């Protein structure tokens, strides 16, 4: 058993990939502290149906209550640009680990942790701020839903880094 465990750890270290045995998870949480300002990184957050994350700047639309970014896609963008930008440079609220493109979530409902439910309503298109922060970043985020997705809060509650994320059936699908 010890040899198998050491072999797994060694392969993980060589490949540079952390294998997810338990599914898709929240890898990071961040809130916007000011327009174009620094992002605040959190371990835990409360989500309200009437808007989004407590502590985040108000959104223009409830349809964009939360924004999500795939760690795998963010890492690919960084590799392409030869950069090492932190994930919240993208100004997303939730970093998702264990899944590639988040495009398959569009039009679906997801649950974060035990309570929070989000209806994913669309792709989060990159804006000119991305180009200002890193030349080439806006273009690198444009394809394959690499800029992430956004959604409307259906059921509020609390979630934390490490919580599972799963698709759930909508009322029409039940």
pLDDT(4) > 90: no
Comparison of pLDDT for 68 and 59, the residue scoring more: 68
Both tokens assigned to 143: 């394809």
What local confidence, expressed as pLDDT, does residue 63 receive?
Answer: 72
Q: How far apart are the first and last CA of the chain?
A: 43
Fold of the domain spanning 21-168:
M1 Pyruvate Kinase; Domain 3 (2.40.33)
CA gap 106, 126 in Å, rounded: 17
* CB contact at 8 A, 13 and 4: no
pLDDT(12) > 70: no
What local confidence, expressed as pLDDT, does residue 51 receive?
Answer: 80
Comparison of pLDDT for 12 and 131, the residue scoring more: 131
* CB contact at 8 A, 136 and 83: no
Query: Rounded mean pLDDT of 19-38?
Result: 80
CA dihedral over 49, 50, 54, 59, signed as positive or negative: positive
Query: Rounded mean pLDDT of 65-94?
Result: 94
CA nearest neighbour of 112 among 144, 146, 157: 157
CA gap 123, 103 in Å, rounded: 7
What local confidence, expressed as pLDDT, does residue 61 receive?
Answer: 67
Comparison of pLDDT for 27 and 127, the residue scoring more: 27
CA gap 28, 41 in Å, rounded: 8
Torsion of CA 75, 153, 36, 32, to 10 degrees: -80
CA gap 29, 42 in Å, rounded: 5
Q: Structural domain boundaries of the chain?
A: 21-168
What local confidence, expressed as pLDDT, does residue 101 receive?
Answer: 95
Q: Is 121 helix (H, G, I), strand (E, B) or coil?
A: strand
State pTM to two decimals.
0.83
* β partners of residue 69: 95
What local confidence, expressed as pLDDT, does residue 157 receive?
Answer: 96
């Amino acid at each position: 058993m010890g040899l198998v465990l050491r072999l797994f750890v060694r392969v993980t270290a060589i490949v540079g990939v952390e294998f997810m045995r338990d599914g898709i998870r929240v890898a990071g949480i961040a809130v916007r502290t000011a327009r174009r300002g620094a992002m605040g990184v959190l371990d835990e957050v409360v989500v309200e149906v009437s808007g989004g994350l407590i502590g985040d700047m108000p959104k223009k639309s409830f349809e964009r209550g939360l924004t999500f970014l795939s760690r795998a896609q963010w890492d690919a963008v960084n590799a392409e640009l030869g950069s090492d930008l932190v994930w919240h440079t993208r100004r997303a609220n939730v970093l998702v680990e264990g899944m590639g493109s988040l495009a398959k979530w569009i039009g679906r409902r997801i649950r974060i942790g035990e309570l929070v439910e989000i209806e994913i309503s669309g792709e989060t298109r990159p804006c000119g701020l991305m180009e200002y922060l890193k030349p080439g970043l806006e273009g690198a985020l444009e394809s394959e839903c690499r800029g992430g997705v956004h959604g409307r809060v259906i059921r509020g509650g609390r979630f934390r880094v490490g919580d599972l994320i799963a698709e759930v059936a909508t009322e029409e699908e039940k």
